[in-house]
Structure 1
Amino acid sequence: MSDTADVPPEVLTAVGAKHRALWALGDYPAVATEVIPELGPALVEAAGVEPGDRVLDVGAGSGNAAIPAALAGARVVASDLTPELFDAGRIAAAASGADLTWAEGDAHALPYDDGAFDIVLSCVGVMFAPFHQRAADELVRVTRPGGTIGLASWTPSGFIGQMFAAMRPYAPAPPPGAQPPPLWGDEEHVRALFGDQVTDVHAEVRGLPVTRFATGREFREFFKAVYGPTIAVYRNVEGDTARTTELDGALLDLAARFQRVDGAMDWEYLLFTARRA
């Protein structure tokens, strides 16, 4: 465990409250179901989830990975800092016949015993915990020795990583010591976070085909309406017409860079799996 994992409890509490409110904005389950539904099943397959496995999904949201893991026969806990997302998850789980447990939990301080799970997953979830070393150490701690950690994280150079780069000049200042979410999509960074706490590392950059948006404007308006971080950035410049117009343009430019002739986009992510040493 690295010394950089030491974050004062009062800072964790304040950041946790802020992030819970952030992800309760809009309608994140719409992103999970309409835009990136294939991401969770891909992670579950890569992590080798099997019947009877004890699985924890960290930053589970509405269950993009947790529900497929449960359908694979695992005993699943879907954990998230923002329990407001669980209502949509419970509806989706019931519709698919999945049986799992939904539990509030902060990735910086998971409320579980050491080695409590055979497999610990996070599908573009833990990457948004701003204190990376602290979160990585928690993922390792709750995984049993020899158990699997599986992560899917947006890369810095891919669409979502570049979206955060485009929004950064208009966003509120991050807390001291926070690291950018897309760093979790950089293999070297993730390997350094886990260090010798894991073995059998496999890291692969993949593209997720996204066909939800016919135009860049459609993408922008959808994310302005449903995606918490985008909503928060627009609120930060609310009342400043010039900066709002600049932000509008930056997101259209982003979409134009990534949209293919057929209208689809490839959203790049890092698929990372390892075993706890």
Structure 2
Amino acid sequence: MSTGALSSEADSLKARLKQTWMAGDYDRFSRYLEGGAREFYERLAVPPGSRLLDVGCGSGQLVLMAAKDGLDVTGVDIASNLIERARARAQAEGLRVRFEEADAEALPFEDASFDAVVSLIAAMFAPRPDFVAKELLRVCTPGGTIAMANWTPQGFVGQMFKAVSKFIAPSGMPAPVLWGDEATVRERFGQGLAELHLTKRHYLFSYPFPPSEVVEFFRLYYGPTNRAFASLDGGGREQLRQELETLWSAHNRAGLGCTMVLAEYLEVIGVRA
């Protein structure tokens, strides 16, 4: 395949990806995930005054935490509506944060612009992971921190993606959950990191409503699930709903009327060479 054809295919994938993440209401969806975001952010222990870039910042949950801690913060995301929402949240709280609509595969910053480059369940979804790894390395200062949290193939969200993918055609990009595979992460960053620490952790999904309503919540507000349901006919939607309800129910650790599921992710913390 020619370089032009490959580029055109990548552009098409990115256009679909942007539509996916602009669907639903990720800001509302993410409010239930702030506890896990804070745990991830606090383990990084980035010193005040550091320049931090959040790649795939969504509606701003992690960057707002960092800004309150006195960091010099920039957030980027492919979804323009999420950037607008993040900017509004920062303004409402009187926080100074720079936001830009940008692509994780082509970050609009000079080399070595940031002391910490982080991505919480975000850059893993870009279609060309090798480009992502190069960009994260490029914009980070030598000795700086590169940190990611990525769903694992075998964890709960990996299983959920597998269930959804049975109903919709593959996107043509490498499986995002490969970013949750230790050997793959080591290969992608290669010699760019002087140190690399990989730890499997659990993100808590906790909802004050039962699994059936969690599935509906994901259908309404989580872009990938929203688009999956929208692509199906009535029978397909009902079958997907049943499979997801079964999955959530099987992993639910809460009592009647509530849902609590632990979702495994790979925490990636590296030191830029």
Give the structure 1 partner of residue 165 of structure 2: 168
Specify the code of the residue in structure 2 equivalent to 1:224.
R
Give the conservation status (yes or no) of the 8 Å contact 2:153–2:177. yes
Give the structure 1 partner of residue 219 of structure 2: 224
Other structure's SS at 1:250 match: helix
Q: Distance in 2 between matches of 1:204 and 1:96?
A: 33
Please state how far the C-alpha of 1:59 moved relative to its aligned partner. 0.7
Q: Distance in 2 between matches of 1:121 and 1:78?
A: 10
Q: Which runs of 5+ in 2 are unaligned?
A: none
Task: Kindly indicate whether residue 199 of structure 2 is the aligned counterpart of residue 204 of structure 1.
Answer: yes
Q: Distance in 2 between matches of 1:8 and 1:55?
A: 32
Give the structure 1 partner of residue 58 of structure 2: 61
Give the structure 2 partner of residue 189 of structure 1: 184
Higher alpha-carbon deviation: 124-133 or 9-18 = 9-18
Other structure's SS at 2:207 match: coil
Q: 2:117 aligns with which of 115, 120, 123?
A: 120
Q: Please, what TM-score do these two structures have when normalized by structure 1?
A: 0.90
Give the conservation status (yes or no) of the 8 Å contact 1:20–1:82. yes
Kindly, what percent of the aligned residue pairs are identical?
Answer: 34
Q: 2:144 aligns with which of 131, 144, 147?
A: 147
Aligned ranges 1:32-181 → 2 under 5 Å: 32-33=30-31, 35-175=32-172, 178-181=173-176
Give the structure 2 partner of residue 13 of structure 1: 11
Q: Which runs of 5+ in 1 are unaligned?
A: 1-5
Q: Please, what TM-score do these two structures have when normalized by structure 2?
A: 0.92
Specify the code of the residue in structure 1 equivalent to 2:121.
V
Other structure's SS at 1:118 match: strand
Please state how far the C-alpha of 1:213 moved relative to its aligned partner. 4.5
Other structure's SS at 1:275 match: strand
Number of equivalent positions? 267
Q: Distance in 1 between matches of 2:92 and 2:184?
A: 38
Report Cα offsets for 1:12-54 as digits up to 9, x if no partner: 3222222111111010111211x21123322322222121111
Please state how far the C-alpha of 1:7 moved relative to its aligned partner. 9.0
Give the conservation status (yes or no) of the 8 Å contact 2:194–2:272. yes
Other structure's SS at 1:37 match: helix
Q: Distance in 2 between matches of 1:15 and 1:72?
A: 36
Give the structure 1 partner of residue 23 of structure 2: 25
Q: Aligned Cα RMSD in Å?
A: 1.8
Specify the code of the residue in structure 2 equivalent to 1:27.
D
